[in-house]
Structure 1
Amino acid sequence: MSIGLTQILVVLVIVLLLFGSKRIRSLGSDLGKAFTGFKKEIKNNDPDRDS
């Protein structure tokens, strides 16, 4: 059983109704900042890099 486009759209509409577009945008922005910081720290803590 695979997830179709219709099911994905229904879930997205429900999430939008529950949280509102402003809250989802804020969560997306926060998640993006966290992911960027995580990638930066991984790059800085590279064990192959000579110190």
Structure 2
Amino acid sequence: MGSFSIWHWLIVLVIVLLLFGKGKISDVMGDMAKGVKSFKKGLADDDEPVAKPAIDSKPSDVVSSSTDEKTRAS
């Protein structure tokens, strides 16, 4: 009672083929396969380590010099 019989699935398949046609379904499946391949390639590219940018000055030096200039000006 909870599942469909083979006849229900065959009728659904025939309706889908009539609406979309055989060529359009194969095109959609091909595009889906290309998308999956691109997604997997993107995941593989993300595994490469990313170099951290080098910082020349310390943040405390920058903050302290700007606050010293403000106190000297006033």
Relative contact order higher in (CA < 8 Å, ≥ 6 apart): 1
User: Which residues of 2 match residues 1-51 of structure 1 at below 5 A?
Assistant: 1-46=2-47, 49=48, 51=49
Shift of residue 13, structure 1, vs aligned partner:
1.8
Q: Which runs of 5+ in 2 are unaligned?
A: 50-74
Q: Please report the TM-score for the alignment, with normalisation by the length of structure 1.
A: 0.70
RMSD: 1.7
Q: Which runs of 5+ in 1 are unaligned?
A: none
Q: Decide whether aligned partners of structure 1 residues 6 and 34 sit closer, same or farther in structure 2, where only a CA change above 3 A counts.
A: same
The number of residues matched between the two structures is: 48
Shift of residue 4, structure 1, vs aligned partner:
4.3
User: Aligned residues: percent identity?
Assistant: 40
